[in-house]
Structure 1
């Protein structure tokens, strides 16, 4: 009589590792938002880069977004803050939003990317958000002018951070803090927009009041 030998057991991947390495299903609304935000941010960044090149070629050039003393891209792009790392800031936007566009296309096509990829994207967008807030402060309280195309980038970065974080951090849904942040995420975004708009209104009220 032969004794049956047990079949070899394949090593299983730890649950935590599988959660982060497995492909993530992204809701259509989130996928489209990533794509749309990426396209808008890329167009705004590329336009800024083109305007910057024109200014370098011709110091007398007036950018298309220099509308009045407050809404003046030229005033902003001529400052050191416009080249934080020694090269024009829009280059970072072009590179970063290009990645976002590709990610959005893949997500819309229902191609599942690993969660670690979404986590990396979220980290990159978070770093961009930090830079955005620094630039908001510099624009309002040091430069004293607003760049419309820059504000388009601002307005895309924060919601994009919320969406990418919602996708990447889904395994933390059981965490009470994460659950509260997820539940109120769009309210937080709305408060952010409200705060920025109010700061702009207050900072340049002397000019806005002349238009009334």
Structure 2
């Protein structure tokens, strides 16, 4: 009599999703409150304005800060709920269909593309580093790696070899994240000469 194999719960992935969701949501909430403060007090500096280089005001007041006709942080207020819910569901033992993981992954594809665009706008157009924006970048980038590898090992592409490779690569997410952060840091230094302004 064959034994039923119970798939292991992705505890680390679940905990990361909840953590990233909470951090990302808090950053979006903080930026939203800063925007409200600006609207109620025109000309007032935001609490996250530390210098000409490190500030939120320029980003929030720019066209790039309201790409879809409303402040970008509002997107985060809604979107970051998803990884929190998915992470908590995984911790509770939930299992999701391949189509669900595919849609969830597409959400992070959009998030990463949007963040890459915003990083480019901050560094090469606005010439600023927004603290709360950087917090968002710092959780979107590793979350994309985690979700991409997880959906692959969950069989969204039903090939055992792909699943095996994705499973092995999961331990390299911290290094991939550090490399991605390093690329952003080098671009910031080359474009804005950050070190000389600290």
TM-score when normalising by structure 2: 0.86
State the Cα distance separating 1:62 from its structure 2 match: 1.6
> Which 4+ runs in 1 deviate beyond 3 A?
23-26, 172-178, 184-187
Q: Give, in angstroms, the shift of residue 112 of structure 1.
A: 2.0
Once the two structures are TM-superposed, the CA of residue 25 in structure 1 deviates from its matched residue by 5.0
Match of 1:179? 165
Residue 209 of structure 1 is matched in structure 2 by 196
Residue 26 (structure 1) shift: 3.7
The whole-number CA distance in structure 2 between the counterparts of 1:73 and 1:24 is 45
Match of 2:181 in 1: 193
Q: Does residue 1:122 correspond to 2:114, yes or no?
A: no
Moved more, 56-65 or 107-116: 107-116
Whether the 8 Å contact between 1:24 and 1:115 is mirrored in structure 2 is: no
Aligned twin of 1:42 = 25
Please state whether the residue corresponding to 1:139 is helix, strand or coil.
Answer: helix
Structure 1 residues 26 and 200, CA gap change in structure 2 (3 angstroms): farther
Residues 70, 146 of structure 1: 8 Å contact kept: yes
CA contact (8 A) 2:49 2:57 kept: yes
Alignment correspondent of 2:66? 83
Number of paired residues?
188
Q: Deviations over 1:56-96 (max 9, x none)?
A: 12112221111111111011111000001111101111111
Cα 1:210–1:140 shift into 2, 3 Å: closer
| Alignment partners' CA distance in 2, 1:192 and 1:149 | 18
Bigger CA radius of gyration? 1
User: Where in structure 1 are there 5+ consecutive unaligned residues?
Assistant: 1-22
Unaligned runs of 5+ in 2: 1-5
> TM (normalized to structure 1)?
0.80
Determine the structure 2 residue equivalent to 1:160: 143
RMSD of aligned Cα (Å): 2.3
